[in-house]
Amino acid sequence: MARRTSLKLIPLGGLNEIGKNMMVLEKDNDMIVIDCGVMFPDDEFLGLDYIIPDFSYVKQNSKKLKAIIITHGHEDHIGAVPFLLKEVNAPIYANKLTLGLVELKLNDHQIFENVALNEINEDTRLEIGSFEVEFFRVNHSIPESFGVIIKTDIGIILHSGDFKFDQSPIDNKLTDFSKISAFGRQGVLALLCDSTNAEEKGYTLPERDVGKTLSEKFSQSEGRIIIATFSSHIHRIQQIMDMSASFKRKLAISGKSLLKTIKISSELGFLKIPEDLIIPISNINDYPVKRIAILSTGTQGEPLSALYKMALNEHKRIQIMSTDMVIISASPIPGNEKAIANIINMLIKHGADVFYESIAGVHVSGHAAQEEIKMMINLVKPRYFIPVHGDNMHKTNNAKLASGIGIPDKNIIIAQNGDVIKINANFCKITNNINMKNIYIDGIGYGEIDDMVLKDRKLLARDGVIFNMLNIDIKKETLAAEPEIMFRGVTYMENFNMIINDCKNLIKESILTCFSNNIRAQSNIEKYIDSRLEKYLIKKIRIKPVIMTKVIFLDNNKSD
């Protein structure tokens, strides 16, 4: 009888943060990946577009990679797929809507060839090397969201995906409780469970509750209604469309991501657009204000979003009026609270009536609260419980829920990104960590940047930059002209001229010191001057700007 080998679970993202979800399952010579998403940076990550998982481990083991399985179409689950496919090649398995959204991303990255996109549904069964994979429907804030069942010769692993238990979903497709409980009766070795809302007591409210609130707001408003929501929140978009049609308002769309998602979702049959509802954004002034609704991007305060431009009065088509009602129908991703508050304040300053999650029921979560998580655990009855999708606070709270309903503490594994979780019929434990790094994406291409660049950006934002241009007569070993010093982004200083003169004198002394100590290499002179100036500025005015010195050698013995 063949020896049964252990299974390795390696989270490459989603276990130190909200977002960037990616889980590797490896057995024998086979590997599958579940999800491959991005995380949107907060203000700490200056100028970055997003952060993606470190794919190094997958690249090193690319011959083992048999499949990429996507649970649903949100950015934190599909956003990094194009970057992964630039490094490795493997077939993708996802539902119809998710595949459509993945295709949009691949087209944006000009990836057109050698990508196998395979459509699955809740009845699909896949034989992938050492794995037999099945799916079950769950409710979430996007249609066709799935959990994943992975069967191996050592037992069953159940991955919840992002889920909630909505008893009256917008599309009338309920979570497949019977399938989940059937596998629970068979015996599940480990449950990987969504932790996003593990701190929230009770049950997550149904999506239809937002519709009731929106109906109230539509009936109250005598002016335009501007609603911002996530471009991938198809159920919310459907409710906004239905509400606009019900109140005889035309709907204009502002935001490229919304336009793309609406187009693909309607083409695939997941979004039913009422007839004659949508008008071009350029035509909004052709109708009375009480007959206009606008669907917008910008729920997270993104600087290039439509709502942000409206708040700054920089939108080409929409200027905020005192009769406008603005509804931000989303919750802030952790770290974005300040950006959203700034937008709300600017909108209020322009006279708009603004409604958002904390003061009005204009948003409900797509993730399970505590009682739903307990229900999932009780249906699955796993031997081992592994919280996923969250930072340490979320995972720890999720672990407490499992412990509170009877999962032994020794069978609860709180892991971090990069941990190698080894599991078989007899044990489940973290054996080591593969030591991953953060991968920052800057720009529309694969603009990976490292921690040093990020550090420089923080310094530039905080204390500015100083440029020094020095012409040195190499023959005379002295300056050929006065140093040119430029301060950029440096806070106003008292005795500014005195500081400039001190810096110039320090540069002159530094050059003499370099030559007297036989330091003649251009780069070494520049580094020495940078160091002297940095110490002086820290001591004198308590700032640490980025200092950039450029030395140009002039050799008077050379003819033109």
Domain borders along the chain are 7-202+365-449, 208-355, 451-554
CATH number given to 7-202+365-449: 3.60.15.10
Q: What are the start-end ranges of the H helices in 225-293?
A: 234-246, 256-267
251-305 pLDDT, tens digit per residue, is 999 998 899 999 999 999 999 999 999 999 999 999 999 999 999 998 887 777 8
Average pLDDT value for the chain: 89
Q: How far apart are the C-alpha atoms of 44 and 441, rounded to whole Å?
A: 14
- Beta strand pairing call for 292-296 and 250-254: parallel
Integer-rounded Cα radius of gyration of the chain: 29
CA 109 from centre of chain = 18
- pLDDT more than 90, % of the chain: 65
pLDDT at 360: 73
Question: What does the pLDDT average to over 498-516?
Answer: 88
pTM for the whole structure: 0.80
CATH of the structural domain 208-355, one choice from 3.30.200.20, 3.40.50.720, 3.40.50.10710, 3.30.70.20: 3.40.50.10710
How far apart are the C-alpha atoms of 32 and 21, rounded to whole Å?
14
pLDDT at 479: 87
CA distance readout (Å), 484 to 308, 470, 524, 525: 39, 7, 19, 16
Distance separating alpha carbons of residues 461 and 456, to the nearest angstrom: 9
pLDDT tops 80 at residue 168: yes
The beta-strand segments (E) located in 101-245 are 117-119, 125-128, 131-138, 145-152, 155-159, 188-194, 225-228
pLDDT confidence bin for 458, thresholds 50/70/90: low
CATH class of 451-554: alpha beta
- pLDDT for position 48: 66
CA distance 86 to 104: 16
